[in-house]
Copies of this chain bind each other. A is one copy, B any other.
Amino acid sequence: MENFTFYSPTYFVFGKDEENNTGKYVKRFGGSRVLIHYGGGSAVRSGLLDRVKVSLEAEGISWVELGGVKPNPRSGLVYEGIELCRKEKVDFVLAVGGGSSIDSSKAIAAGAVYDGDFWDYYQGKMVEKALPIGTVLTIAAAGSEGSPDSVITKEDGMLKRGGHGEALRPAFSILNPALTQTLPAYQTACGITDIMAHLFERYFTNTQDVEVTDRVIEGLLSTMIHEAPRVMENPDDYQARANIMWAGMMAHNNCCGVGRVQDWASHDMEHELSAIYDCAHGAGLAVVFPAWMSYTMEHDVMRFAQLAVRVWGCPMDFAHPEVTARAGIEALRRFLRSIGMPENFAGLGAREEDIEKMAHTTCYGNGRDGHIGGFVPLGEEELKEIYRLMV
């Protein structure tokens, strides 16, 4: 295990009806003039936004609002939000929605108190100061409700990049599993895939002696495998939604990723797919991960076998561990298929002829030096091969 620091100071409020306490928590964490930032119609139609406003009103907190966040949130709306915050002297940014609304809110919160262009933060500069952020989560997926990360797409060139910094951790996050019950099945499945991907990115490491984080990751993956069919079968299953929602937070606040080199090549590869084709992030990951696993399996067969045995319940083939390792990857494919995720480029609307370009951008974009991945370092040629496995 390597030396690390871990800091997750977000106040989590979990359970039924808790969005009605939003105003109370905004006040506790110092907000008096709020930007409510959200996506499209569902938060409005469901009455969620009204409930949040009523709770702010009850605490005497005023607000301005900015809707229109889209999946793979764009820089244009971030600039708009920053202007609005400055003009309206906003002192607190409240995200109502999923990872996209939260990530866009984080970018606004950082940009509003920064003299330069907020995009600097998405080109490697660490975020050290931001307005306090609160979230009312409506999708279990991105883990942004408990993470110091944000992903934004710059329209100019469709560059999808990540910003980071402890200042981006929300002051509070309200997680009401019931709010996720109205999600379409496809979005629910994308969220499940995203959560599992956050766990895989941490699981595949060359760091030795990380039993404690291995075991927690395996436990969270087992939870997802247990709960996913329940929620796909019955979208109103509050308890299954609740288990998935807490697993989603733990998967990405990094309590199970500390002390180990992580990988993240699959996320990097997926970001090119969703930047170009605007596909759902989770759907992209469903196509990338099995391909990446098949390609990298030989690097550490026993780690793949451990995953297969402990998480997928595959029998260990002691004479041929690679058989077990491969069975685990096949189990993941079957699982993703069973929840309705795409299996290849066709399912994403992606095109084989873009592979060269994607491999190049993945390697060299965002100031990268031509290689990505902490488990198996991958260069342009290797990435082309992996992308080809997805066709």
A239 within 8 A of B: yes
Are B243 and A1 in touch, CB under 8 angstroms? yes
Q: How many copies does the complex hold?
A: 2
A83 at the interface (CB under 8 A from B): no
Check A1–B250 contact: CB distance below 8 A: no
A385 to B151 CA separation, bound complex (whole angstroms):
59
Whether B9 and A14, one on each chain, are in contact in the complex, defined by CB atoms closer than 8 angstroms, is no
Taken residue by residue from 236 to 250, chain A's Cβ proximity to chain B (1 for < 8 Å, 0 otherwise) reads as: 000110111011001
Indicate the member of A215, A218, A247 with the most B CB atoms within 10 Å. Answer: A215
Could you tell me the distance between the alpha carbons of A13 and B4 in the complex, rounded to whole angstroms?
6
Partner of A243, one of B4, B7, B211, B255: B211
The docked-state distance in angstroms from the alpha carbon of A227 to that of B250 is: 23
Option from B13, B243, B259 in Cβ contact (under 8 Å) with A242: B259
Contact A12 B6 (CB under 8 A): yes
Residues of chain B within 8 A (CB-CB) of A8 are 8-9
Q: B259 and A14: CB pair below 8 A?
A: yes
Q: Least Cβ distance of A201 to chain B in Å? A: 18
Bound-state Cα–Cα, A246 to B215, Å: 12
Nearest Cβ on chain B to A22's Cβ, whole angstroms: 14
Q: Report A339 CB to chain B, min CB distance, Å.
A: 17
B223 touches A212 (CB 8 A): yes
Take A3-B16, A12-B7 as given contacts and tell me if A215 and B219 are in contact as well, using a CB distance cutoff of 8 Å.
Answer: yes
- Which residues of the partner chain B approach A259 to less than 8 Å between Cβ atoms? 14-15, 242, 246
Q: Which of B7, B14, B216, B244 contacts A219 (CB 8 A)?
A: B216
Given A14-B3, A16-B3, A215 and B211 contact (CB-CB distance below 8 Å) = no
Q: Which of A1-54 contact B (CB under 8 A)?
A: 1-16, 18
Q: How large is the interface on A (under 10, 10 to 19, 20 to 34, 35 or more residues)?
A: 35 or more
How far is the CB of A373 from the nearest CB of chain B, in Å? Answer: 24
- Is the beta-carbon distance between B4 and A212 smaller than 8 angstroms? no
A70 sits at the interface (CB 8 A):
no
**Closest CB of chain B to A365's CB: distance in Å?**
32
A226 at interface, CB cutoff 8 A = yes
Rounded to whole Å, the gap between the CB of A171 and the closest CB of chain B is: 10
Inter-chain contact B14/A5, CB cutoff 8 Å: yes
Q: Shortest CB–CB separation between residue A255 and chain B, in angstroms?
A: 6
Q: Does A376 contact B (CB under 8 A)?
A: no
Q: Is A220 close to B, CB under 8 A?
A: yes
| A242 to B1 alpha-carbon distance, docked (Å) | 7
A3-B15, A8-B8, A211-B243 provided; 16 other pairs, C-beta below 8 A? A1-B239, A1-B242, A3-B14, A3-B16, A5-B13, A9-B9, A15-B259, A210-B243, A211-B226, A212-B219, A212-B243, A215-B219, A215-B220, A216-B216, A216-B250, A250-B255
Interface residues of A (CB under 8 A from B): 1-16, 18, 208-213, 215-216, 218-220, 222-223, 226-227, 239-240, 242-244, 246-247, 250, 255, 258-259
28 CB contacts below 8 A, A to B, read A1-B239, A3-B14, A3-B16, A4-B15, A5-B12, A6-B11, A7-B12, A8-B8, A9-B9, A9-B11, A14-B258, A209-B240, A209-B242, A211-B223, A211-B226, A211-B227, A212-B220, A212-B227, A212-B247, A212-B250, A213-B246, A215-B220, A215-B222, A216-B219, A216-B220, A219-B219, A242-B259, A250-B255
